[in-house]
Amino acid sequence: MKRLHEDTGEHHQLRRNLVDHLFKHGIEDRRVLNAIATIPRQYFMLPQDESVAYVDRAFPIGEGQTISQPYTVAYQSQLLDVEKGMKVLEIGTGSGYQAAVLAVMGADLYTIERQKKLFDRNRNFDYLRGFNNIHFYYGDGYEGLPADAPFDRILITAAAPQVPQPLVHQLARGGKLVLPLGEAPVQRMVRITKHHDDSITEETFDKFSFVPMLKGKQE
């Protein structure tokens, strides 16, 4: 797909406004705000929607999927508490925007998408190819990436009806898994921590509405 790669002073200003808006709504993690201030969200949108790239809403990206709302991306990224050099697994690459945010935050980012068309689109997306710390996989996120485990952080960006146990297994000691837990239409954001003695604790946060996490791959 052809993408317009224009990033003007006006876009920079719109990003600063978006960062102010997120800060006012409780996103205070500088690493997250810096990533959002850096990444041209318009690159990740369908061409007809580029003018609304900095509106704080989810938008369609084709294949029945959406690019998450900036507030949601920021909220999940903040809960994930990523430090430079951490090995992070994302489930649901979608537009690739969340992957870029985590990569700018310094993660060594592994991301899985179950839809072949979205996977191919991201692999050929020049802006994302510019990151040498993003690794794309086509597969079923319910299975994770056992060969690359353990991960310091795991982020699920689709609604999971239950906590996928293979992902808990693939979490390092001291690791955190953030996911929207529940069925449509509304989920609770949950953070699972695996402690150094392998015990697990669960914290519950605000309500969100994600597209469902589906089983298996799609051609």
The residues annotated as belonging to the active site are: 68
CB nearer to ligand SAH: pick between 86 and 173: 86
Please report how close the Cβ of residue 84 comes to ligand SAH at its closest, in angstroms: 21
What six digits make up the tokens of 88? 């992070």
Q: Considering only CA atoms, which of 190, 191, 182 is closest in space to residue 211?
A: 182
Window 139-158: residues binding ligand SAH (CB under 6 A):
140-142, 157-158
Given 105, 107, 178, 213, the residue binding ligand SAH (CB under 6 A): 213
Residue with token string 């990523």: 82
- How far is 73 from 187, CA to CA, in rounded Å? 15
Q: How far is the CB of 159 from ligand SAH (least distance, A)?
A: 9
115 binds ligand SAH (CB under 6 A): yes
Point out which span in 19-27, 89-97, 168-176, 188-196 binds ligand SAH (CB under 6 A).
89-97
Which window, 123-131, 146-154, 170-178, 206-214, contacts ligand SAH (CB under 6 A)? 206-214
**Exposed/middle/buried for 214, CB within 10 Å: 0-12, 13-18, 19+?**
middle
**Number of other residues whose CB lies within 10 A of the CB of residue 215:** 10
Does residue 93 contact residue 122 with C-beta atoms inside 8 Å?
yes
Supply the angle between the helices 30-38 and 9-24 in degrees, to the nearest 10.
150
Nearest distance, CB of residue 114 and ligand SAH, angstroms: 4
Whole-Å CA distances, 97 to 2, 58, 205: 17, 12, 23
Q: Which of 95, 122, 170, 187 binds ligand SAH (CB under 6 A)?
A: 95
Report the DSSP beta bridge partners of residue 159.
Answer: 212
Segment near ligand SAH (CB under 6 A); pick from 45-53, 136-144, 146-154, 190-198: 136-144
- Sign of the four-CA dihedral 118, 56, 133, 130: positive
Closest approach, Cβ 68 to ligand SAH, in A, equals 5
- Pick the closest to residue 156 from 207, 65, 94, 84 (CA basis): 94
How many residues touch ligand SAH (CB under 6 A)?
A: 23
Stretch that binds ligand SAH, among 16-24, 25-33, 95-103, 177-185 (CB under 6 A): 95-103
Contact set for ligand SAH, span 15-74 (CB under 6 A):
65-68
| Residues in contact with ligand SAH by the rule CB under 6 A | 65-68, 91-92, 94-95, 97-98, 112-115, 118, 140-142, 157-158, 211, 213-214
